[in-house]
Amino acid sequence: MPAFPLSFPTMTHRLSIVMPVYNEVSSVASVIDLLTRKKIDGIEMELLIVESNSTDGSREIVTRHENTPGVRVILEDKPRGKGHAVRNGLACATGDILLIQDADLEYSLDDYEKLLAPIIAGRADFVLGTRHTEGNWHMRRFSTGNHYAVLFNLAHWGFTAMLNFSLGTRMTDPFTMFKVFRKSCLEGIVLECNRFDLDWEIVIKLVRAGYKPLEIPVSYKSRDFKEGKKISITEDPPTWIKAWWKYAVMGK
């Protein structure tokens, strides 16, 4: 992998971090604190928190930051899905670089610099933070039942192969949270999905627009369903297949 600079002495870029929040009371305060204290030389950052009317106290935590410098709070009247919240945040972003961040701590914020480096260096427009390094096919581990982890890992590789075949790519982790890209990549692209199928839609539409994703290995510690994991085994896979068929196969 080519080496990229991890510090950017001349401030010429603005990073918009889009963070959807729904029922993340155990972690959202820590994530906001880490992000508001994070500094990257040469990068101005804005945090857009899209709160979807949580029922566990997350909304109250988020609204405390309505006057925090560098933070914009967007309040939705009801939960319509992570994808809807992300689309809402992307529409309000003012940065020239966009990054999607969950309100939990599965991914390390220390990876921001290396994800941004190839974009700042002009070597890539679209970066994916891959959780799958060589020999690590089973990156999900759930304490409540290893059978769920095996199911998720096998499904990941099956869906990834399907997506790669249809797009002519060789991605290892198109479904990663860490999607980082220039705002200009979205020109002419209309995003529609409301659930986790937005992960599919973004990747498919950017690839079809000519943006080949550069994958950068990132740190990852999977959380369990009892810790707040929200993907539904029964409800979400059909939406993924629908998104694949509509955007990758039919090209809509």
Beta bridge partners of 18: 48, 100
Q: Where are the domains of the chain?
A: 13-249
Distance, in Å, from the CA atom of 47 to the CA atom of 59, rounded to the nearest integer, reads 16
Tokens coding 151: 């199911």
CA-CA distances (angstroms) from residue 138 to 147, 246, 252? 12, 29, 33
Scanning the structure block, which residue is given the tokens 């986790």?
Answer: 196
Q: How much of the chain is helix, strand and coil, in % rounded to 5?
A: 35, 15, 45
| H-run or E-run covering 127 | strand 126-130
Tokens coding 40: 């990257």
Closest CA to 101 of 122, 117, 118, 115: 115
Closest CA to 26 of 106, 102, 103: 103
Distance, in Å, from the CA atom of 100 to the CA atom of 215, rounded to the nearest integer, reads 15
Tokens coding 43: 């990068």
Q: Could you read off the pLDDT tens digit of each residue along the chain, which spans 252 residues?
A: 556 656 555 658 999 999 999 999 999 999 999 999 999 999 999 999 999 999 999 999 999 999 999 999 999 999 999 999 999 999 999 999 999 999 999 999 999 999 999 999 999 999 999 987 655 544 555 455 565 666 777 888 899 999 999 999 999 999 999 999 999 999 999 999 999 999 999 999 999 999 999 999 999 887 665 655 667 778 889 999 999 999 999 988
Domain spanning 13-249, CATH architecture: Alpha-Beta Complex (3.90)
What pTM did the predictor assign?
0.88
